[in-house]
């Protein structure tokens, strides 16, 4: 088993670690159920300190040239790579995910800082055609202001990096509340930025009771933008709070990704990709493939192959190099996942693999495959956020597109086909912010990441991520 140095998480207020006496809550290793540390709960006085720092930090950081902001981000990327193995182990310890996934995530976080370190130089305005001699008409892009960001636990390094990359690249300051389940990983990302030369006032990291923190921060006139990744239910609550102050929002909410597998594919090749994608991070991924619609001509073979691969899928502590799938993040998720399975079974679904928690320490649920699941089952309508794949057959193109689009979610969707025409049609017809055709690879630093419908709005990553942190100003000079 790999070893990890775990130092006690503290608050970071205006870039300064605050180790004062605060009420604390435990942090657990989900692979063992053992406590590994504790995090402090920020008081409202702490949040006031963070807000005042964010205001000062914004005024300072927006005045730094894009070239110099970019240098800080690129240096932070380099530090992340240098510290890579230690940070990957930290993320695997706190979240339970496999160390292999944590290493990939660490590299993605570094890539994101590096890419934004370059791209922030390309925030341009526009010069309009003059309306007379000596006049000048310009459209300027300016940073929106201090951002309140809320990052979940499923990508302990990647989510904080996404929450910080674009705002800092454009000249905003940030107060981030990372998930309380994975505090040390988020602090390590923040530390890389501070060590790279980010002005301290530009960044605060707070923990506490999530609803209390978000309500307090969003009520402050200092905060000009809210960026949240998490469930659609919580996203809607934050949208209402943001509306009170007419604040800009980026909402990366839940998903329920369909996977359309047409009859012309290499079944084994698709299965190899599909099983790995489904059980990545035990299915606790917003773009996790969940509803597999498989052409009836290959359905039985696909279902049998899926179940066979899952039976031997290596499940265990993420810090054990031989494992591919870890536990759920919290014991409260076990009955939730069991509820989805029991409900589907009661409605006639077949359980081809898994279907129960694993009898061992830690919060493990078996990788699970359900087949022939009716649309009325809860799992066909609510985001499971766990290790469950649902398989159903389809016959014709229009019907499967309708099935894929029938939910209010629209984050990711996937399709597998050898037909160029089918691929082109699906690219147009599927209602999702991201569509993978013959691939599950959709997140990359230069591509927009975000959803449509109730999966949210706005993008993180790509130039679109910068745009989401900018306001537009028109200046007319006579």
Among 32, 43, 237, 405, binds ligand NAD (CB under 6 A): 237
Which residue, among 322, 453, 312, 336, has the nearest Cα to 384 in the 3D structure? 336
Sorted by sequence, the CB contacts under 8 Å of residue 198 that are 6+ apart come out as: 15, 61, 72, 76, 168
Q: Are strands 368-371 and 388-394 parallel, antiparallel or unpaired?
A: parallel
* Geometric angle at alpha carbon 453, from 449 and 458, rounded to 5°: 35
Q: Is residue 150 involved in binding ligand NAD (CB under 6 A)?
A: yes
Q: Which stretch binds ligand NAD (CB under 6 A): 78-86, 146-154, 194-202, 344-352?
A: 146-154
Cβ closest to ligand NAD, residue 14 vs residue 230: 230
Rg of the chain over all Cα atoms, to the nearest angstrom: 23
- Is residue 252 annotated as part of the catalytic site, yes or no? yes
Which residue, among 189, 268, 230, 217, has the nearest Cα to 55 in the 3D structure? 217
Sorted by sequence, the CB contacts under 8 Å of residue 29 that are 6+ apart come out as: 35, 36, 93, 94, 96, 362
CB of 185 to ligand NAD, least distance (A): 12
CB of 178 to ligand NAD, least distance (A): 7
Among 61, 113, 365, 385, binds ligand NAD (CB under 6 A): 385
Among 15, 254, 318, 354, binds ligand NAD (CB under 6 A): 254
Q: Is residue 227 involved in binding ligand NAD (CB under 6 A)?
A: no
Q: Is residue 152 involved in binding ligand NAD (CB under 6 A)?
A: yes
- Is residue 469 annotated as part of the catalytic site, yes or no? no
Q: How far apart are CA 195 and CA 82, in angstroms?
A: 12
Give the 3-state secondary structure of residue 175: strand
Cβ closest to ligand NAD, residue 86 vs residue 335: 335
Among 113, 153, 262, 364, binds ligand NAD (CB under 6 A): 153
Cβ closest to ligand NAD, residue 354 vs residue 450: 450
DSSP per position, 192-247: HHHHTT--GGGEEE--S-HHHHHHHHHHSTT--EEEEES-HHHHHHHHHHHHHTT-
CB of 211 to ligand NAD, least distance (A): 4
Among 196, 234, 303, 366, binds ligand NAD (CB under 6 A): 234
CB of 401 to ligand NAD, least distance (A): 24
Q: Which of 119, 252, 431, 461 is catalytic?
A: 252
Cβ closest to ligand NAD, residue 261 vs residue 413: 413
Q: Is residue 214 involved in binding ligand NAD (CB under 6 A)?
A: yes
Residues numbered 170-189 forming contacts with ligand NAD, rule: CB under 6 A:
179-180
Cβ closest to ligand NAD, residue 348 vs residue 408: 408
Cβ closest to ligand NAD, residue 183 vs residue 305: 183
Q: What are the helix (H) ranges across 245-373?
A: 267-279, 299-311, 333-346
Cβ closest to ligand NAD, residue 60 vs residue 237: 237
Q: How far apart are CA 364 and CA 282, in angstroms?
A: 9
Among 30, 230, 433, 436, binds ligand NAD (CB under 6 A): 230
Q: Which of 286, 383, 431, 454 is catalytic?
A: 286
Which residue, among 165, 444, 418, has the nearest Cα to 298 in the 3D structure? 418
Among 55, 95, 229, 281, binds ligand NAD (CB under 6 A): 229
CB of 110 to ligand NAD, least distance (A): 20
Which residue, among 154, 171, 182, 162, has the nearest Cα to 227 in the 3D structure? 162
Q: What are phi and psi of 463, to 5 degrees?
A: -60, -30
CB of 428 to ligand NAD, least distance (A): 25
CB of 383 to ligand NAD, least distance (A): 5
Long-range pairs of 349-352 with CB within 8 A, sequence gap ≥ 24: 349/373, 349/374, 349/377, 349/390, 352/303, 352/306, 352/307, 352/310, 352/391
DSSP assignment, residue 351? E
Among 101, 105, 119, 383, binds ligand NAD (CB under 6 A): 383
* Geometric angle at alpha carbon 186, from 183 and 191, rounded to 5°: 120
Structural element, H or E, at residue 170:
helix 158-170
Cβ closest to ligand NAD, residue 302 vs residue 409: 409
CB of 234 to ligand NAD, least distance (A): 4
Question: Tokens in use for 22?
Answer: 């605060």
Which residue, among 147, 75, 87, 173, has the nearest Cα to 118 in the 3D structure? 75
CB of 308 to ligand NAD, least distance (A): 29
Residues numbered 278-297 forming contacts with ligand NAD, rule: CB under 6 A:
286
Catalytic residue ranges: 252, 286
Which residues of this protein are in contact with ligand NAD, per CB under 6 A? 150, 152-154, 179-180, 210-211, 214, 229-231, 234, 237-238, 252-254, 286, 383, 385
């Amino acid at each position: 088993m790999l070893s990890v140095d775990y130092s006690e998480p503290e608050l970071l207020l205006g870039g300064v670690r605050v180790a004062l006496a605060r009420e604390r809550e435990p942090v657990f290793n989900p692979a063992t159920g053992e406590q590994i540390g504790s995090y402090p709960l920020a008081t409202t006085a702490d949040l006031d300190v963070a807000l005042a720092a964010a205001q000062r930090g914004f005024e300072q950081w927006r005045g730094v040239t894009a070239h110099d902001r970019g240098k800080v981000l690129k240096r932070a990327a380099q530090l992340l790579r240098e510290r890579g193995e230690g940070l990957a182990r930290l993320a695997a310890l706190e979240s339970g995910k496999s160390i292999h996934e944590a290493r990939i995530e660490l590299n993605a976080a570094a890539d994101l800082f590096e890419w934004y370190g370059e791209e922030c130089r390309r925030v341009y305005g526009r010069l309009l055609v003059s309306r007379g001699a000596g006049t000048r008409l310009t459209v300027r892009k300016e940073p929106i202001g201090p951002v309140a960001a809320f990052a979940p636990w499923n990508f302990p390094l990647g989510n904080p990096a996404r929450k910080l990359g674009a705002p800092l690249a454009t000249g905003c300051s940030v107060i981030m509340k990372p998930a309380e389940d994975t505090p040390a990983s988020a602090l390590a990302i923040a530390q890389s930025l501070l060590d790279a030369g980010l002005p301290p006032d530009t960044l605060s990291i707070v923990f506490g009771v999530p609803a209390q923190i978000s309500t307090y921060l969003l009520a402050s006139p200092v905060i000009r933008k809210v960026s949240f990744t998490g469930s659609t239910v919580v996203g809607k609550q934050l949208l209402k709070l943001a509306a009170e102050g007419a604040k800009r929002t980026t909402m990366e909410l839940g998903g329920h990704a369909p996977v359309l597998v047409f009859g012309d594919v290499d079944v084994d090749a698709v299965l190899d990709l599909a099983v790995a994608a489904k059980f990545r991070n035990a299915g606790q991924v917003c773009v996790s493939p969940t509803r597999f619609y498989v052409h009836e001509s290959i359905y039985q073979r696909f279902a049998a192959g899926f179940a066979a691969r899952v039976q031997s899928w290596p499940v265990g502590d993420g810090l054990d190099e031989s494992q591919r799938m870890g536990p759920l993040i919290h014991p409260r998720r076990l009955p939730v996942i069991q509820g989805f399975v029991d409900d589907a079974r009661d409605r006639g679904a077949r359980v081809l693999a898994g279907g129960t928690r694993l009898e061992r320490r830690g919060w493990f649920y078996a990788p699970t495959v359900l087949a022939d699941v009716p649309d009325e089952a809860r799992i066909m309508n609510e985001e499971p956020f766990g290790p469950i794949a649902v398989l159903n057959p389809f016959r014709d193109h229009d019907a499967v597109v309708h099935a894929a689009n029938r939910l209010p979610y629209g984050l990711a969707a996937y399709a597998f086909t050898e037909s160029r025409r089918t691929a082109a049609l699906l690219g147009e017809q599927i209602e999702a912010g991201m569509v993978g055709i013959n691939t599950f690879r959709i997140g990359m630093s230069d591509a927009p990441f975000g959803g449509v419908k109730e999966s949210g709005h706005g993008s993180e990553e790509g130039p679109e991520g910068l745009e989401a942190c900018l306001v537009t100003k028109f200046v007319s000079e006579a």
